[in-house]
Structure 1
């Protein structure tokens, strides 16, 4: 396992995320399958992973408890614990911090984060008093390094990063969001301030572990023995500001593949990076529709469906996964996909010849599942 210096310690480049531990029966919301999860932790420890990330709310609060139990048999100085305070789960930051120490069965937390900074909650974190309290705990030795995780715009990220000299920050960072989102700008904000980056979602919640057939063929031709997830991890690893790359590993197969990716210090070559971004472009084209939001389709829709808005949700679903369907309820529209009567007026007026009725029918089925 390759490692990288961080202040006065050394951290494994691969970190163990504990948000997607195996669960009993494989059903969402089920209790953690502790036997299988312990196997994964033991494999991680035996292969040099020393960074373990959790949060107050992961697995309905059970992730921290499990981690405290799973790591209890190992010397406390052989691993580093990271966990997070989520203001809107419980605003009593003093009580939450004490509870987390108990759950994790420790007297200190190595890497402590403000959890999930968004544009609409950044100021609430800044005004809550929690930062000042956590800085006091850092002085007392109960927190070793203090940081935050961000899902915000570059502007809000800048505001948070400039609050004081943070030890680190956590970003969603992967090659797809780098090319099609604001991730490159977010990275630059932290790079300019010399803030080390812990990476979450390097495989985009698993979405980049399985691409379209054309995209996968491009990558397999270049490196037949690399998995799709390995490509994603190797791309992130080459960024100099990145410290630890987290992966929420749910199976032994996943952790074995990831450990092999981090066994050697070799980075993705520039030529390979170019191939990967071309594959990302092919993937995006194959799974999404090319709506330009011209709204020609809306004028003749008898059900008054805000078609471009729902097509945007559809594209998010195809690239981000099922959670994106939660955006459906926020679309400002008289008609919904289920109301589509398949008249075809939209497609007749679409410059891109998008088969809108077919997509509306698919969205309706997905919401009803």
Structure 2
């Protein structure tokens, strides 16, 4: 395990802690500002409340946050169209703020069809962000489908050329797939950073803890997204879970427990938070004051394990995600469908589970396509009543 050395700088009443980002020379704040959930007007994602959002960004930077993350589709109406997050940041970072931060954005991997698209979107993003150079340029949402396509189109040559032209400084990717896909991507290029979904509930989800360790051991900076699992670890906390937090000698909010769990790990460099209010910005900066590596006690780590266990007690379907039920003759992505049903019950989060269900799964992969052939149940080592569970998904989420 590589060593981590955290520095700190006083900003008013709090200290911001910094860690070196992988093998780069950049010292970045342990709290990064993710610009995908900014406050909006009229409930329209592409209508950012510029005045409020700008005050939030400025407050964060004025108090030591120096890692700002965005992406091409953030605050847009669809993944195929550019959102307003980059445009907003181009304006918000004027007046000397751009020089105070390391700026990260991402190439929209899913709409790349020709090698000419690489430079087209990079140039468009530079214009939108009103900057000559992007500090960290990530390939967005790499998985077993997008990566081979980008690699065949010559994305690594494009990245080398963009660095030589001083349009980008460092390279990386965000990852959304199982661990076994990760080593192939990492070995294909001299990446600087890797962005992974990770929190105390998701140690074995997607790349998980194995992916985090692997990326870090290869010298990549590790940027963590979804520290609060889309907010469910902070909102509507079950009484049984809250009673566990109440047992702690040092009282902390559910948000603080989630962040402290991540910052306790010396192989995590930056934790992104998609903050949507000034109150969240203030709270998270205050929490970061004590986010030292290896700072949680054994008893505190045990409480986190108990909270995780309590959440898992609320699981509706005993699916382990082993995949023995796959492939489904009708195309249903059974493990992912059942995962969203469990999310529905574990976190009492109907809207979030439904949003993930329609956002992650293609129409052809949804439960409505089940023909009740029973092949999946013959293969399931857990004896899960899959057909019955898929019917419940249709009842809860619709078609």
- TM-score of the two chains, using structure 1 as the length reference: 0.83
Q: Structure 2 stretches of 5 or more lacking a match?
A: 1-15, 77-82, 322-332, 347-351, 373-381
Deviation at 1:190, TM superposition (A): 0.7
For the Cα contact (< 8 Å) 1:154–1:189, is it kept in 2? no
Deviations, residues 322-348 of structure 1 (Å, cap 9, x unaligned): 32332485234137xxxxxxxxxxxxx
- Say if 1:57 and 1:89, in contact at 8 Å, map to a contact too: no
Please say which of residues 5-14 and 173-182 is displaced more in the overlay.
Answer: 173-182
Of 271-280 and 95-104, more deviation after overlay is shown by: 271-280
Distance 2:36 2:334 in 1: 35
Which whole-Å deviations, capped at 9, do the CAs of 1:141-167 have from their partners, x for residues lacking one? Answer: 221111111112212110000012211
Q: Could you say which residue in structure 1 is the equivalent of 2:86?
A: 64
Partner of 2:395: 364
Per the alignment, residue 5 of structure 1 pairs with 20
Superposed displacement of residue 197, structure 1:
0.3
Q: CA deviation at 1:284?
A: 1.9
| Residue aligning to 2:9 | none
Query: CA–CA distance in 2 between the matches of 1:37 and 1:247?
Result: 14
Cα distance in 2, alignment partners of residues 361 and 249 from structure 1: 33
* Residue in 2 that maps onto 1:301: none
Q: Computing the radius of gyration over CA atoms, which structure comes out larger, 1 or 2?
A: 1
Partner secondary structure for residue 174 of structure 2: strand
Matches within 5 A, 1:62-101: 62-91=84-113, 92-101=117-126
8 Å Cα contact 1:314-1:363 kept in structure 2: no
Q: Which consecutive residues of structure 1, in runs of 5 or more, have no partner in the other structure?
A: 294-305, 336-349
Given the superposition, is the C-alpha separation of residues 181 and 275 from structure 1 closer, same or farther in structure 2, using an over 3 Å criterion? farther
Deviations 1:201-248 (A, max 9, x none): 111111211332211210122156422121111111122221111000
- CA distance change for structure 1 residues 65 and 170 in 2, over 3 Å: closer, same or farther? same
Corresponding residue for residue 127 of structure 1:
152
Match of 1:177, SS?
A: coil
1:82 aligned counterpart, secondary structure = strand
- What SS does the corresponding residue of 1:125 show, helix, strand or coil? helix
Q: Among 200, 207, 210, which residue is 1:175 paired with?
A: 200
Following superposition, the deviation at residue 20 of structure 1 comes to 0.9
Q: Which residue is 2:357 aligned to?
A: 325
Provide the C-alpha distance between the structure 2 equivalents of 1:307 and 1:239, rounded to a whole number of angstroms. 33
Query: What CA RMSD, in Å, does the superposition of the two structures yield over aligned residues?
Result: 2.9
Structure 1 residues 212, 180: CA separation in 2 closer, same or farther (over 3 Å shift)?
Answer: farther
TM-score (norm 2): 0.77
Q: Within 5 Å, which residues of 2 pair with 1:155-166?
A: 155-166=180-191
Counterparts of 1:351 and 1:122 in 2: how far apart (Å)? 35
Q: Report the equivalent of 2:241.
A: 215
Counterpart-to-counterpart distance in 2, 1:84 and 1:309? 25
TM-superposed CA distance for 1:353, in Å, is 11
Distance 2:205 2:177 in 1: 15
d(CA) in 1 for partners of 2:129, 2:182: 29
Which residues of 2 match residues 346-361 of structure 1 at below 5 A? none
CA shift in 2, pair 1:253/1:287, >3 Å: farther
Helix, strand or coil at the partner of 2:110 = coil
Report how far residue 352 of structure 1 moved: 9.2
2:48 paired residue among 32, 39, 45: 32
Name whichever structure is richer in helix by fraction.
1
**Residue 90 of structure 2 contacts residue 129 of structure 2 at CA under 8 Å; is this kept in 1?**
yes
Once the two structures are superposed, the pairs formed by residues 178-189 of structure 1 within 5 Å of their partners are 178=203, 182-189=207-214
Range with bigger deviation, 259-268 or 34-43:
259-268
Contact 2:264 2:291 in 1 (8 A): no
CA distance in 2, matches of 1:29, 1:192: 38
Distance 1:184 1:310 in 2: 23
Q: Does the C-alpha gap of structure 1 residues 333 and 81 become closer, same or farther in structure 2, counting only changes over 3 Å?
A: same
Rounded Cα–Cα distance in structure 1 between residues aligned with 2:302 and 2:208: 18
C-alpha separation between the residues in 1 aligned to 2:272 and 2:335?
35
Corresponding residue for residue 52 of structure 1: 68
Equivalent pairs, count: 340
Which whole-Å CA distance do the structure 2 matches of 1:31 and 1:365 have between them? 30
CA distance in 2, matches of 1:190, 1:292: 25
2:341 is matched with which residue? 314
Equivalent residue for 1:341? none
